[in-house]
């Protein structure tokens, strides 16, 4: 799975799990929508600072780096805010550890 350049559609918490919904993930040369869930997240760090939760920082996020391990995810996301008077961008890193990591292909997009 190739995540770099993909779009974050959703990033949030659900019953102690961290859930990423990502569009345009490349699998075998085709683009898919994928959900990655870090089950029972016990360690969340955003820009190396401990955090209790994760959420969308803006309506649009682009994955610059995304690494899956058996116990978690490391990701760097560039958030783009296109609303208001101007466009703003910010970049954040996420290191999330949990009991297990599950990825599910939802639909082929192209």
Q: What is the pLDDT of residues 68-109, one digit of tens each?
A: 988 899 999 999 987 766 688 899 999 999 999 988 877 676
Cβ neighbours around 66 below 10 Å, total: 22
State residue 82's pLDDT score: 74
Higher pLDDT, 32 or 83: 32
CA neighbours closer than 13 Å in the CB half-sphere of residue 4: 3
Determine the Cα–Cα distance for residues 16 and 26; give it in Å rounded to an integer: 28
Q: Could you tell me if 62 and 7 are in contact, meaning their C-beta atoms sit under 8 angstroms apart?
A: yes
Over residues 53-67, mean pLDDT? 94
Percentage of the chain exceeding pLDDT 90: 75
Determine the Cα–Cα distance for residues 75 and 94; give it in Å rounded to an integer: 5
State residue 85's pLDDT score: 67
State residue 49's pLDDT score: 98
Q: What is the mean pLDDT of the chain?
A: 92
């Amino acid at each position: 799975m190739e995540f770099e350049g993909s779009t974050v559609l959703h990033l949030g918490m659900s019953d102690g799990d961290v859930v990423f919904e990502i569009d345009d993930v490349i699998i075998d040369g085709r683009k898919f929508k994928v959900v990655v869930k870090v089950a029972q997240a016990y360690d969340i760090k955003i820009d190396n600072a401990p955090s209790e939760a994760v959420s969308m920082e803006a309506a649009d996020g682009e994955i610059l780096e995304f690494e899956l391990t058996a116990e978690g995810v490391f990701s760097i996301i560039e958030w783009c805010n296109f609303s208001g008077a101007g466009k703003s961008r910010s970049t954040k890193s996420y290191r999330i550890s949990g009991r297990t990591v599950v990825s599910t292909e939802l639909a082929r997009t192209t």
